[in-house]
Amino acid sequence: MSMKPMTLEEVTKKILNQEPLFILDVRNQNDFNDWKIEGRKFEYLNVPYFDLLDGVDEILSQIPTDKEVIVVCAKEGSSIMIADMLAEAGRDVFYLQGGMKAWSEYLEPVKAGSLRDGGTIYQFIRVGKGCLSYMVVSNGEAAIVDASRMTEVYIEFAESIGAKITHVLDTHLHADHISGGRSIAEKVNAVYWLPPKDAEEVTFPYQALEDGNKIVLGNTSIDIAALYSPGHTIGSTSFVVDESYLLSGDILFIDSIGRPDLAGLAEDWVGDLRETLYQRYRELSKELIVLPAHFMTNDELNDDGTVAAKLGTLLSQNHGLNIADEEEFRKMVTGNLPPQPNSYQEIRETNMGKISPDTEKQHEMEIGPNRCAIR
């Protein structure tokens, strides 16, 4: 029988289209429990590679013959070996091309909506990390928001649609992933915007993102005048795009809210978080489509592959927005903080420009799931 690679794009399409897939993950149990490829109709078997060195006969009965089967490991090599064993045992199998290392870095662009002038907003889904970034395009100009470090993906995509990147923005100083914003701006000679309250320790020049700014893109204004939205960080800033979309950064997600502790200031910032969610956001139009910077599980994916919902829907259905008692809210937030992201302090220092780790080190720093939300 046969053994073939399955590309990152093919796996992503199965997630977005809610197709079935059986995954044999041959990493160790701790790595598998911490972080795996997730799909609504995916099934799993976790057997460490070292337990299969003598053969796969003992697990054949646990591997279906009526579904596509993919073998997954950290960097591809072990999965190729196990997939070859399964093929020799008479099974048709795939292995994940590039392994989980490549999976953590793959970006899938999806159209998130249309602007009134005929422009488009694209959502870049980093499925392996739950990170979301955006490209707003109008009249041949593009602005990128919350870019990941895989900068060429954005640059090449902009070129493919005939758009020039003129502005690059970060909603806040990220602590769970390395921002590609400054790098993109330098490569294409665009303006890089960052909230100054998050930038007190940065070592590079930037354009201060403050109340009252309006960034004009083609015929579209990204209005941030009244959307200083602290709570995840002290400088967190949201964007209303074309009076239709709310880019909420790490303040508000579809099924949860942002955590206020990644700078060690949970008790100080939880009040800011509540003020943003319960006052500033409630003054906005309920018709705005919320586009967050992260998602927690694939259950938050819509049928069209986007992660998005109306603000009014979230105000009524998101538990984090419906805790009337302020002290109860404070306890809920500070008492349900997940583990800190891997290497989060090093990531913050990288995004400040204080350290410059090489590509392999950057990958190691980002490995694992995102942990920006209150559980």
Nearest Cα to Cα of residue 83 among 73, 68, 93, 74: 93
In terms of Cβ atoms closer than 10 Å to its own Cβ (0-12, 13-18, 19+), residue 203 is exposed
Residues 32 and 178 reside in one and the same domain: no
Residues 95 and 140 reside in one and the same domain: no
Neighbours of 174 (CB within 10 A): 28
Boundary of a domain, candidates 44, 69, 102 = 102
CATH code for position 65? 3.40.250.10
Residues 199 and 341 reside in one and the same domain: yes
Residues 132 and 206 reside in one and the same domain: yes
Residues 246 and 317 reside in one and the same domain: yes
20 falls within a domain: yes
Taking phi over 0 as left and psi of -120 to 50 as alpha, with beta for the rest, 249 belongs to left
Q: How many Å apart are CA 280 and CA 270, to the nearest integer?
A: 15
pLDDT in the model for residue 224: 45
In terms of Cβ atoms closer than 10 Å to its own Cβ (0-12, 13-18, 19+), residue 210 is middle
Contact assessment for residue 72 and residue 27, using Cβ atoms and an 8 Å cutoff: yes
pLDDT in the model for residue 226: 46
Both tokens of residue 14? Answer: 């199965």
303 falls within a domain: yes
- The count of domains in the chain is 2
pLDDT in the model for residue 123: 98
Sign, CA dihedral 107-179-366-340, equals negative
- Report residue 93: phi and psi, to 5°: -140, 160
pLDDT in the model for residue 263: 64
| Orientation of helix 181-188 relative to helix 151-160, angle to 10° | 50
- Longest Cα–Cα distance in the chain: 66
Residues 83 and 159 reside in one and the same domain: no
371 falls within a domain: no
Residues 132 and 192 reside in one and the same domain: yes
Residues 225 and 297 reside in one and the same domain: yes
Q: How many Å apart are CA 11 and CA 18, to the nearest integer?
A: 10
Contact assessment for residue 16 and residue 37, using Cβ atoms and an 8 Å cutoff: no
Q: How many Å apart are CA 247 and CA 134, to the nearest integer?
A: 9
pLDDT in the model for residue 339: 76
368 falls within a domain: no
Residues 42 and 171 reside in one and the same domain: no
Tokens 């053969």 identify what position? 55
Q: Are strands 141-145 and 164-169 parallel, antiparallel or unpaired?
A: parallel
Residues 84 and 112 reside in one and the same domain: no
pLDDT per residue as tens, the chain (375 positions): 789 999 999 999 999 999 999 999 999 999 999 899 999 999 999 999 999 999 999 999 999 999 999 999 999 999 999 999 999 999 999 999 999 999 999 999 999 999 988 899 999 999 998 999 999 999 999 999 999 999 999 999 999 999 999 999 999 999 889 999 999 999 999 999 999 999 999 999 999 998 778 888 887 777 544 477 888 888 999 999 989 999 999 999 999 998 886 666 677 788 999 999 999 999 999 999 999 999 988 889 998 999 999 999 999 999 999 999 999 998 888 887 777 777 888 999 999 999 999 999 998 888 877 777 766
Tokens 């209303």 identify what position? 240
Per-residue DSSP letter, 264: S
In terms of Cβ atoms closer than 10 Å to its own Cβ (0-12, 13-18, 19+), residue 137 is buried
372 falls within a domain: no
Residue 259's identity, in one-letter code, is R
Q: How many Å apart are CA 63 and CA 48, to the nearest integer?
A: 15
Nearest Cα to Cα of residue 302 among 73, 107, 111, 22: 111
Both tokens of residue 273? Answer: 């978080």
Domain that holds residue 287: 106-360
Residues 16 and 84 reside in one and the same domain: yes
374 falls within a domain: no
Non-local CB neighbours of 358 within 8 Å, separated by 6+ positions: none
Boundary of a domain, candidates 102, 121, 137 = 102
Mark whether 73 is an active-site residue: yes
Answer whether 0.75 is exceeded by the pTM. Answer: yes
26 falls within a domain: yes
37 falls within a domain: yes
- Give the active site residue among 73, 96, 185, 217: 73
Q: How many Å apart are CA 305 and CA 15, to the nearest integer?
A: 9
Residues 47 and 149 reside in one and the same domain: no
Neighbours of 53 (CB within 10 A): 12
Q: How many Å apart are CA 271 and CA 330, to the nearest integer?
A: 8
Nearest Cα to Cα of residue 95 among 146, 21, 152: 21
Contact assessment for residue 295 and residue 253, using Cβ atoms and an 8 Å cutoff: yes
Boundary of a domain, candidates 51, 78, 102 = 102
CATH code for position 283? 3.60.15.10
